[in-house]
Structure 1
Amino acid sequence: MNNSIGTLYIVATPIGNLQDITQRALETFAQVDLIAAEDTRHSGLLLSHYGIKKPFFALHDHNEQQKAGLLVEKLRQGTNIALISDAGTPLISDPGFHLVRQCRQAGIKIVPLPGACAAITALCASGIASDRFCFEGFLPAKSKARRDKLENLAQEDRTLIFYESTHRILDCLADIEAVFSADRYVVLAREITKTWETIHGDLVGLLRQWVAEDPNRTKGEMVLIIEGLPQKQETEFSAQAVKALTLIAQELPLKKAAAIVAELYGYKKNALYQFALEKNKD
């Protein structure tokens, strides 16, 4: 009997195109003793495609909190386990959080294997700023709750990423238009990596019309990438702020002076600093 503690491998699987599986993922599947899968039938088809036969353990949203302890015990007894979801990276709008947290609390080694993720794949192809973004998963199913959630994000200047279902996509776009306005730019990425992959961006009002024109455009796995609220550029500063900046800059470095005045008068320090640089040039 193996008395050493096992390892939990978090393995990303393809989101559509089976060729997106990594060599390391296949090697890990071949080496582990057990595979914890969201849907054992779905995952069985994936592994069968690659000629891999391993015991499965069903771990999904409805049983994870109750069953995670059983997997932790198996790991303690030396069983090596691979955690996978139906597609993409586990824990990203998929089960696995409770298991991973319990494993960390128990001191069990966790090895994440990078791979496909629909949110990141769509973001890369969206043409929307990717240096700062927040992933919000699925919006609420009911319109009132969905609009409330969007209201909370209306002033967010980072790129927003959501997953959405086929039967809610038009209602969701209508709510985005109502809360964010019709001129917010949105990209719909549908069926990423699959045969009917579509990536289409437009002002949300026009995007909603485009989707409604063809029933096929409402089908498949969907990611919405929404441009963040444009940051307002400070172009004018009060006479008092400019005077204070001039006086303080005589005693302190310009950047420090700008930071102090920005704090006093409620301006953005970088905008005030750039203003001071331009003023000095003049």
Structure 2
Amino acid sequence: MSAISELSSLKITRARTPEERRMRAKEAGRDNKAGYLFLAPWLVGLLVITVGPMLASLYLSFTDYSLIQAPRWAGLDNYARMLEDPRLHQSLKVTFVYVFVSVPLQLLLALAIAVLLDRGMRGLSLYRSIFYLPSMLGGSVAIAVLWRQIFGTEGLVNQILRLFGVNASTGWISDPQYALGTIILLHVWTFGSPMVIFLAGLRQIPGMYYEAAAVDGASRWTRFTRITLPLLSPIIFFNLVLQIIGAFQSFTQAFVVSNGSGGPSDSTLFYTLYLYQRGFGQFQMGYAAAMAWLLVVIVGVLTAINFFASRYWVFYDD
């Protein structure tokens, strides 16, 4: 034992010599340089593509800028104008209705399909790909144009209703009562991405919990509410945050369906669409930049509320 202890103390002493410390410092320096070299493309992208434009837009939000003339400092004028802009208030109302209706419906549908696919049916990969396809295409211009045709006066929806004897002659997208609902349906239809995430989470739940509950006589609904939902709550929370952020940024669907106007009667005037109209339609880039930062604040506040509320319903198995 004494020889081993002397050998250990000798190794410790040798490891602490100044020469070896310098060698280790050089090796660590070379490793750090290699790490920074590999990180350089990401750092350049972060500064040039993300941080730089964000700081520029923050500066422009305090200016009067029209893309033609140089920015002129205006202080808080752009933010004060928001309080008196009725179309901005309407766009916020439309966007909040869209987010708080479409996101829960989309997540419910995604979870239901994921539960069905989790039963181990044959050809699972094929069904998973088919259901995921709308998420890849739902934000495209082509699908938005198709959606406008489907819900038009002579569209597929009205033709199907006429087969059942319903005299449908109203264009769904041209009626202020239903125009936003058609876009909400389009968002719900793109449930593939959260569905795949739900399915991956379901596959991680140990089967022994369900076996023990079945032995105790628990029904399927009890097993779903007492086992599946609590253990899947982190995945639900993850999908909820992502989908809310994505829904607030929706633009293409409303732009194409309404031909860029937000009509009829501003019923589909999304916040991002109104921002686009102000910035690139009326060349009020300073006001548009201020609107963009208001959107950042709204999304940040809602995300913070979700994280605060998650402590009461999200279960982490640790």
Return the TM-score normalized by structure 2.
0.18
Structure with higher RCO (Cα < 8 A, 6+ apart): 2
Structure richer in strand, relative to its length = 1
Structure richer in helix, relative to its length = 2
